Structure formats: C-alpha cells, structure tokens
C-alpha cells in the first residue's frame, strides 16, 4: 500500500504584520500625550518651591519614565506578536492530507 502526503493551502499566505501599525500608532500617541502632560505640570510646578513641589515633581518624572518604558516595550513587542498572529492565521489556512492507495497490476490483454 502506498501513500502520498501533501499540504493543501485553502488560501494564499498573507503577511498580517501591517495590522500592528494602528496599535503602535496609538501607543506612540499615548507617549506623546504623556510627555505633553508632564511638560505642562512641570511648567506649573516651576513657579513653586518647597518639599511638596519637589516630591511631586520627583514622583511625576518617575511615573513618566515608567510609562515611557512600558510604551516602548509594547511597541517593540508588536512586531513579534504580529508575526505570531500571521503564522497562526496562515496555519489555519492549510491542511495536511495523506492519500493511501493500492497499486494494482494490470495485465495486457492477450
């Protein structure tokens, strides 16, 4: 008994990496808005002095650095996640098949 193994692709391969662009753009926009907010608050705090102002500014800058780090981390992970997404979707679009067959000898008529 013979067998034949093939992979059947229902639809052609698609690179779906472009789908991460919108999310990355939104993350970049969040980073920009965070930066603008920090600058605005710093400007307001610059006219004041004292321990409360200094501690507030210190906490604000620490929070901004953490937000920046998180956003940059997500942006850098988006390409990896988009690649995995593309691979998973494209894996769904194909099916491995095995065909089993019997070889039959045919004799020529005499």
Whole-angstrom distance, CA of residue 61 vs CA of residue 24: 23
- pLDDT(69) > 90: yes
Q: Is this structure's pTM higher than 0.75?
A: no
- pLDDT(65) > 90: yes
Note down the domain range covering 29: 2-101
Mean pLDDT over 70-90 rounds to: 90
Whole-angstrom distance, CA of residue 58 vs CA of residue 31: 19
Does residue 41 lie in a domain region? yes
Does residue 74 lie in a domain region? yes
Does residue 70 lie in a domain region? yes
For the chain, the average pLDDT equals: 90
Residue-level pLDDT at 108: 81
Strand partners, 33: none
Q: How far is CA 88 from CA 23, 35, 110, in A?
A: 19, 36, 57
Tally of domains in the chain: 1
pLDDT digits over 94-110, tens only? 889 898 888 888 888 77
Residue-level pLDDT at 15: 85
């Amino acid at each position: 008994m013979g067998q034949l193994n093939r992979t059947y692709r229902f639809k052609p391969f698609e690179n779906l990496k472009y789908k991460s662009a919108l999310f990355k753009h939104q993350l970049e926009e969040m980073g920009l808005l965070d930066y603008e907010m920090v600058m605005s608050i710093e400007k307001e705090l610059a006219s004041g002095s004292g321990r409360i102002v200094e501690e507030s500014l210190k906490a604000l800058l620490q929070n901004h650095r953490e937000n920046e780090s998180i956003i940059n981390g997500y942006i850098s992970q988006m390409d990896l996640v988009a690649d995995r997404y593309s691979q998973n979707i494209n894996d769904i679009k194909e099916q491995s098949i095995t065909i089993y067959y019997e070889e039959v000898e045919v004799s020529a008529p005499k």
